[in-house]
Chains A and B, each alone.
Chain A
Amino acid sequence: MAGLELLSDQGYRLDGRKATELRKVQARMGVFAQADGSAYLEQGNTKALAVVYGPHEIRGARSRALHDRAIINCQYSMATFSTAERKRRPHGDRKSTEMSLHLKQTFEAAVLTQLYPRSQIDIYVKILQSDGGNYSVCVNAATLAVIDAGIPMRDYVCACTVGFVDETSLADLCYAEESGGVSSLALALLPRGGQIALVQMDARLHQDHLDTLIEAAMTACKGVSKVLDQVVRQHLQEGSTLRE
């Protein structure tokens, strides 16, 4: 462990949160007028911008089209100034490609793609400022953008990154915790049915702890879903009052 005490004896984390406490989530839908759907989401200091185009005709090779459902096309990128050390390329490196793939898989599980055969839905996510939990913030932002675009989904997809340290699971890790040697797990959940859209862990963890960790992640995701629901309701209310 990198010398940092991730969980104090009193049960407080580096940034003063309790173990199960989430960071403050703030979001806004409909940030941009030109895209079909867009959303901006801040989770603590991690800030992401998601934009959705489509469903539209397949761009490029027609052969990619699926006759019974829409294909989902994702691109994840990070602003060159988003991290503490400047990134040389915003996208195209191995990590972003992997992240794009994960996003694609998550949303294929959530969006009702069979409603749009032979078409394409583009989801582009940009990290403006990175402070841990990039995957989950992207998923949360993209969910809002997809809803803003009016594309039907089975449910909100909510994601959260959780970690396990000193026999305790920590919800919604920040960068210092992520890099501090915690075994972290990212989970995307469709909260109403309790279905898991994606789960990913690439660290060492004893098998006995896995269930508790997943349980903690699911609780955290449900917490996020409440916030997202509120944002969507508020956005719709604003829209309807404007129209009156």
Chain B
Amino acid sequence: MATVKVSEAEKVYILHGIRDDLRVDGRSCEDYRHMEVETDVVSNTDGSARVSLGHTAVLVGIKAEIGKPRPLVPDEGYLEFFVDCSANATPEFEGRGGEELGIELSNTLYRVFNNKNSIDLKGLCISAGEHCWVLYVDVLLLQCDGNLYDAISVAIKAALFNTKIPRVHMSSDDEGGKEVELSDDPFDCVRLSVENVPCIVTLCKVGHRHVVDATLQEKACSVASLIIAVTHRGTVTCVKKVGGGSLDPESIFEMTEAGKRVGKALHAPLMKLLQQEESLGKKREKVGFLG
């Protein structure tokens, strides 16, 4: 469900718990819930990943297509984000109900990736001004239980890591016309460097403290949250306040610092896990949704 109803007594219980650094599910304020990451789950895509975080479940599929570079940057490819809030997650999203949230999420993703270092866009260019790779990053929300941003960003990073772009080269025929030629070997692929891809950390201000990875109940107790996209080096690529409330400057500074610390710590185990999964190759037992 996208929203839950929390009674006043429950709110007090959650607030007091957080004040004492003990949350309803036993975590402390900067702990994540159990997270599962699996890559290569949809074979129709060039890269895909499934992430579940508590009850939140997202599936990201990446498709690489050949398109025309944007006129302003002729020597770069680009990324397109689309977030599909499917009715599977909650009946409220039926029909066009999920569109608003989908646009909000995808706009934030555009912002997070709006810098030169996250993804090597120049590497996505095939021939300047004519052809480039367009990476369609499609996010599918399967279940919402709070903290969508973090789950989505981890899933995107994993899916980008998994992405295999076929190798192409330009060949010119006798009349000087250029043609894109696909490599004959289907395993001849280019991989993306995801080292600098940021992860998003959402900090929810509850009472006088902030918590990481808030559940829907905790989110209902908070007035505003701050999302911070952090790379493994600790560079911030996006901050955004979400929610209807306001925050005082001092707590924002505290939250950015905590976000940077938590975000930096998130990258290493994720990369280790992805590399481990990659090294297993074909031997890996695919779990998917059957597990």
Contacts and interface: CB of A to CB of B under 8 A. Distances in A.
Nearest to A48: B289
B18 to A, nearest CB: 23
Contacts of B53: none
A131 B44 CA distance: 9
Contacts of A206: none
A75 B48 contact: no
B105 interface: no
Given A28-B289, A34-B143, A86-B136, A77 B87 contact: yes
B136 A80 contact: yes
A81 B45 contact: yes
A40 interface: yes
A47 B42 contact: yes
Contacts of B130: none
Contacts of A32: 55, 57, 88, 142-143
A128 B42 contact: yes
A75 B290 contact: no
A47 B142 CA distance: 14
Contact of A34 (B1, B84, B96, B140): B1
B147 to A, nearest CB: 14
B63 A81 contact: yes
Chain B facing A: main interface SS? loop
Interface in B82-105: 82, 84, 86-88, 90-91, 94-96
A122 interface: yes
Contact of B82 (A42, A80, A92): A80
Given A34-B1, A59-B91, A79 B43 contact: no
Interface string A12-48: 0000000000000011100111110010101001010
A99 to B, nearest CB: 14
Interface in B152-199: none
Interface string B273-291: 0000000000000001111
Interface centre among A26, A32, A53 (most CB of B within 10 A): A32
B86 A129 contact: no
Most B C-beta atoms less than 10 A away, residue of A40, A73, A126? A126
Contacts of B61: 79-82
Interface in B125-144: 136, 138, 140, 142-144
B178 to A, nearest CB: 24
Interface string A152-175: 000000000000000000000000
Contacts of B291: 28
B44 A83 contact: yes
Contact of A49 (B88, B91, B94): B88
Interface string A60-93: 0000000000000101010111111010001010
Nearest to A40: B289
B63 A129 contact: no
B84 A79 contact: yes
Interface of B: 1, 42-45, 48, 55, 57, 59, 61-63, 65, 82, 84, 86-88, 90-91, 94-96, 136, 138, 140, 142-145, 288-291
Given A34-B143, A126-B88, 12 more contacts: A26-B290, A27-B290, A28-B291, A32-B143, A33-B55, A47-B42, A49-B289, A53-B91, A79-B138, A84-B44, A124-B91, A130-B44
- List the 10 shortest-distance A-B pairs measured between CB atoms, nearest first: A81-B61, A40-B289, A124-B87, A80-B138, A51-B88, A90-B84, A81-B45, A81-B138, A86-B63, A28-B290
